[in-house]
Structure 1
């Protein structure tokens, strides 16, 4: 392992001394040796992806008679629950609704930025996942602003309490208009209600502000884990709260095992008992669904539950099968949680959490995201809320102990679905035991007939372009809808994050490179049912949808972005979709262009990325503007 020191970019050590405290810096130094292990596993991950493509081999279950890689736990034992898991802490037993979103805004004053945390903690959500990953912008110092804001809120700082009082009044004004009643009776008491949870960035990402002195990029996972836990564990535990993380983008139990080692090492460094830090795992990757019990087992006393996030998961299935000419997704609107492979994925998760460990402990299942925001015409809001409630009711019936919402205004709309039931959770419900045969494997990649249309392609392209633009502006979570519906208040904006932008372009890549057949006539473009989705059609739609964004008003597309981040977003979309070598992560092309507003420079960086991927099978993940 490397003994290189950690370097912090520019003068951030001084300007964020409240975040980079001595305790944090010592903890970072203690965890720095894991950086090499993270890089190694990410290399293995990419090689595994390439080997499957070369051999035309689909993902399969592990051999039950082997050890889980990187551990001495037998696969068979993990599947049978022969391991020690975690009892669920009191403040996590009831998580009917968890909100998600970042705790900071781009280019904002502290008082404005920290409002995000106030909205979250006054929302009435049982838990709030403050996002350090898919919904948190990374321009400038946003990841550090996020950490600062969370620390100020968790420590009840005067600046946060002052902002929270004002925000409570504004939230009550809205709820009086929407529900005919105020929802916050005592704002100080309300702040104590919501369990605070943090989502660290995945193992595939690097931090923008830290490097090792030998020039190596530094894992964003290690940075996020250390900064959040070391800065807040005393205040959280002192208030009787759990220290809780969401872990994203895990593909294998071996990767989960590395997370477990890092968390255990941090606990040991801080003098905390093993299992102090509790983790939910987002099941966002197809391969993870083949190793659910194994992931539970390796995380042991840290693991408390799974979350079924729709968008990332769809993207992972698409990416895992990019080489398979027969696997072509339909319109994104058709791929709900009851669709083919999604239905089977959800079923495996609920069976995995309801398999007891050696001590009879079950785990939680948190349902997926509700992206709606109740703002629009009366009819638009009514029909969208009906769909939102139907989705929540379905998940509740299926066994979820709660679900996610992407906006604080949705909390009191959806929470009653679980409130009516009254029980804190649905752990221990009886479902059929997990099985591991060829039929199970096939079900996790099951396609069903559904439309594939030009209208669907336009929607994919328009939102994909807008998302890339929003990302460049520092908004990794943004309320978006296709340009053809701008000005139509019956069609609501949906909260989109990195995952939703990524899957849209992944599907377009499939349609182009696997010669998808369009299933309906489209008089506007002249495309007929049975026609193939071609490069010519893609370029035609790209130009048309891009021009609509150039003509949009400032409400939908910032005027200043049309000559800065939007042209870069267009180029990224074009390269991602048309490049024959499937780029593993859309976010890579966005990340290397953060804080860059020059199209020529963007094209240079994109070419450099593609060249390295093709020639060396490597990604560029570091901050290209930060060298030691």
Structure 2
């Protein structure tokens, strides 16, 4: 029992006993009491910033931090042990089998994901912590259906992605207020493993998602300083790689690095969430309407500008510029289709390494060989910090360039409806990472699909045939039996009640004045209710 702390779920009691110890809860309470007011104020600031954008104020690089961008002398911390060479990083959720397979994949690092690739049931969150703790101590071997899963002698370096600042953890309250999901995931991993990681020649390394302002990076830095002091660890031991996956953050890359400079291990192109944020933050701008999701590639203007600026910024500050995800997975039983898919991976990775990226993401262990060969051929050393890209000149209008070839088609609308239904239905059922059309999809794809449907309806977009995309048109697809059969084939475990919830949710979304901030926030009450959380704690912060 820890004063002021309440746990509102009895899910996974063994994991609770192992992970939610008195010491860990005391640490969580200390973090919450020190930092949650700041977090809440930063979330309010996001809403205020959106209101200014809706009123027509254009995004630009902050004037108050021009001196930080202009000053050439400051640099980020040198790479921490195990992070000197990150040429291939594999990502995925934290279930036990995935953790072993990813750590054994041959990739340089494994990003264990408590965020977009995880449905945050309390069971998933706590058992994920147990699995990572056991993996660090080389005690994760187990048997499943007669097959033995064992950790290799030289596993990938572990990096953990906690949830974003916008999400609460409703199963635990401190002083009658829900914890931050970010602090919950970070704190439990750090408290139980930081010293063990350092003793084994590594360290507590994190991916930091969904930030929209450099003050949100400052908050993370303050959390790092507090946490290192709390357990008696030397400062600057923690490393954090920031995902630049929101449009506002693209205008503040140097400032974000500056705030975290002594704890920074670079920036990452979170490409799918970036497209989602581009649509959402420009929701009032009719000129920002995009064509079918498949046509918004890394070669279009605003995506290419963002990539080039990120690489230039990181190498200017001597830190890693990480590339994005190749979501392809091997296509079994169709060699021709598989070769076409793998050719896309090769092309994507070649583009990244020749642009100057220091590493890339993959979603499946069998893709490691392809990505590794490309980077080994074109990146001789451990990184490309020396590739300064001083030729790059990116202005605000380049980051806002909406010249995207393509059209809105009936197939594109149908694809978005099916993706949103399948993923969100699986998420409500406790699965946050699913294969769809030979791609390993997480929440980002569903978010693009959701906001595109809203954008097309809201701004009166028309198909290439001339037919308008209306709420009724989307309803017809949501209720279409063929679409449902496609979704059920992709997610065989999808339950009727979950499909009903998501169908009603999407119908409501396309009719809203604005799209809501995150579907994960919107649907979290269903997970919280299933975990036995009282109704007053079920809503997330945003």
The corresponding residue for 1:322 is 283
d(CA) in 1 for partners of 2:483, 2:528: 21
Q: Residue 398 of structure 2: which of 440, 443, 449 is its match?
A: 443
d(CA) in 2 for partners of 1:12, 1:459: 35
Alpha carbons 1:151, 1:232 under 8 Å: kept: yes
d(CA) in 2 for partners of 1:480, 1:59: 34
The corresponding residue for 2:191 is 230
1:496 counterpart = 2:441: yes
Alpha carbons 1:355, 1:433 under 8 Å: kept: no
1:161 counterpart = 2:141: yes
The corresponding residue for 2:7 is 8
Q: Deviations over 1:254-291 (max 9, x none)?
A: 11101111111101111112210001000001111101
Superposed displacement of residue 595, structure 1: 6.2
Alpha carbons 1:13, 1:20 under 8 Å: kept: no
Taking the TM superposition and a 5 Å limit, the aligned residue runs for 1:136-175 are 136-157=118-139, 160-163=140-143
Superposed displacement of residue 85, structure 1: 2.0
Superposed displacement of residue 370, structure 1: 0.5
Superposed displacement of residue 416, structure 1: 1.0
Superposed displacement of residue 407, structure 1: 1.5
Taking the TM superposition and a 5 Å limit, the aligned residue runs for 1:227-266 are 227-266=188-227
Q: Deviations over 1:55-106 (max 9, x none)?
A: 221221111xx3xxxxxxx5413442443520112411111110000112xx
In the alignment, structure 2 segments of 5+ residues that lack a partner are none
Alpha carbons 2:421, 2:487 under 8 Å: kept: no
d(CA) in 2 for partners of 1:372, 1:384: 7
The alignment partner of 1:135 has SS state of coil
Change in Cα spacing, 1:620 to 1:427, as seen in structure 2 (3 Å) is: same
Alpha carbons 1:119, 1:167 under 8 Å: kept: no
1:548 counterpart = 2:482: yes
1:536 counterpart = 2:472: yes
Alpha carbons 1:35, 1:222 under 8 Å: kept: no
In the alignment, structure 1 segments of 5+ residues that lack a partner are 67-73, 105-113, 170-186, 357-361, 482-492, 520-527, 598-604, 610-618, 624-628
Alpha carbons 1:311, 1:499 under 8 Å: kept: yes
TM-score (norm 1): 0.80
Q: Deviations over 1:207-262 (max 9, x none)?
A: 1321123x222111111111111111122111101221000001010111011111
1:199 counterpart = 2:199: no
Superposed displacement of residue 51, structure 1: 3.0
Superposed displacement of residue 430, structure 1: 2.4
Kindly tell me the number of residue pairs found equivalent between the two proteins.
532
The corresponding residue for 1:359 is none
1:430 counterpart = 2:388: yes
TM-score (norm 2): 0.92
d(CA) in 2 for partners of 1:344, 1:381: 30
d(CA) in 2 for partners of 1:473, 1:163: 25
The corresponding residue for 2:298 is 337
The corresponding residue for 1:566 is 499
1:27 counterpart = 2:27: yes
The corresponding residue for 1:102 is 93
The alignment partner of 2:206 has SS state of strand
The alignment partner of 1:245 has SS state of strand
Q: Residue 512 of structure 2: which of 579, 583, 590 is its match?
A: 579
The corresponding residue for 1:394 is 351
Alpha carbons 1:576, 1:586 under 8 Å: kept: no
d(CA) in 2 for partners of 1:399, 1:552: 40
Superposed displacement of residue 24, structure 1: 1.8
d(CA) in 1 for partners of 2:200, 2:541: 37
Q: Residue 173 of structure 2: which of 211, 218, 230 is its match?
A: 211
Alpha carbons 2:90, 2:110 under 8 Å: kept: yes
Name which one, 1 or 2, has greater alpha-carbon Rg: 1
Change in Cα spacing, 1:292 to 1:434, as seen in structure 2 (3 Å) is: farther
Superposed displacement of residue 147, structure 1: 0.6
d(CA) in 1 for partners of 2:22, 2:122: 23
d(CA) in 1 for partners of 2:235, 2:408: 50
d(CA) in 1 for partners of 2:540, 2:148: 40
The corresponding residue for 1:181 is none
Alpha carbons 2:283, 2:514 under 8 Å: kept: no
Superposed displacement of residue 371, structure 1: 0.3
The alignment partner of 1:10 has SS state of coil
The alignment partner of 2:83 has SS state of helix
Alpha carbons 2:521, 2:541 under 8 Å: kept: no
Change in Cα spacing, 1:300 to 1:477, as seen in structure 2 (3 Å) is: same
Superposed displacement of residue 554, structure 1: 6.1
Taking the TM superposition and a 5 Å limit, the aligned residue runs for 1:36-435 are 36-53=37-54, 55-63=55-63, 66=64, 75-83=66-74, 85-104=76-95, 114-157=96-139, 160-163=140-143, 190-213=152-175, 215-356=176-317, 362-376=318-332, 377-421=334-378, 422-432=380-390
The corresponding residue for 2:540 is 621
Alpha carbons 1:79, 1:293 under 8 Å: kept: no
The alignment partner of 2:435 has SS state of strand
The corresponding residue for 1:18 is 18
- CA RMSD in angstroms, aligned pairs only: 2.5
